[in-house]
Amino acid sequence: MKFLFFGLFLIFQTSHAEDLRTFALSVKDGKFTPERIEVPRDKKFKLEVKNDGNQSEEFESVELNREKIVGPHKSITVFLGPLGTGEYVFFGDFHPDTARGKIVVK
C-alpha cells in the first residue's frame, strides 16, 4: 500500500498549476467557429468551447479521444496536448454533417 501511495504521489506532484494558452471555440446552430485552429507543437493548451445556441452539442474527436456535451449557453474546458505535427479533426455529434473543424499543429 505504501508503494501505491508513493506512485500516486509521483503522479500528482507534477499536477501543479501552470499557465496554459487558451483558444476559443464557439458552436451555434450546428456549426463551429472557427473551423480551423492553429496551435503550437508539443505544448499543452486549453480549448474553451462555448455553446452560443439554444441546443446542446457534443464536442467529439476520435484522434483526441474526446466526447463531451456542451449545454446551451454553457461552456466546457478541454485540455489538450502536447500534440505532434498534423491535423486533428473534431465534430459535433448532434450535427455531424455541419459541425466539423480541425486543430492544426505546426
Partner 1 sequence: MTLFCQNLKFLFLVVLLCFISPKVFAVEYYELEVYGYQTANLHELEIENTSSVSSDDRETFTNRIFRSSMEFNYGISDRWELSTYLDYTKPVDDHAEYTAFRAHARTYFAEKDQLPVDLGLYFEVELPRNYRAKDVGLEIKPILEKDFSRWTIRLNPAVEFSHVAVPVGDNSKVVDPDGDVISSQTQDLSSDKVWIAEWGLSSSISYNFSEYFRPHLDWHLGFTDQSSLIMPSVDLKLAKDIKASIGAGFGLTPTTENRIVMARLEFESFLEGR
Phi then psi dihedrals of residue 4, to 5 deg: -65, -45
The CB-of-78 to partner 1 minimum distance in angstroms stands at: 7
Stretch touching partner 1 by CB under 8 A, among 22-30, 31-39, 66-74, 97-105: 66-74
The CB-of-101 to partner 1 minimum distance in angstroms stands at: 15
Dig out the grid coordinates for 72 from the structure.
446551451
Number of helices followed by number of strands (H, E) in the chain: 1, 9
Q: Quick check: bond before 72 cis, omega within 30? A: no
Q: Which residues bind partner 1 (CB under 8 A)?
A: 1, 3-4, 7-8, 10-12, 14-15, 42, 44, 56, 58, 60, 62-63, 65-69, 71, 77-82, 84, 93
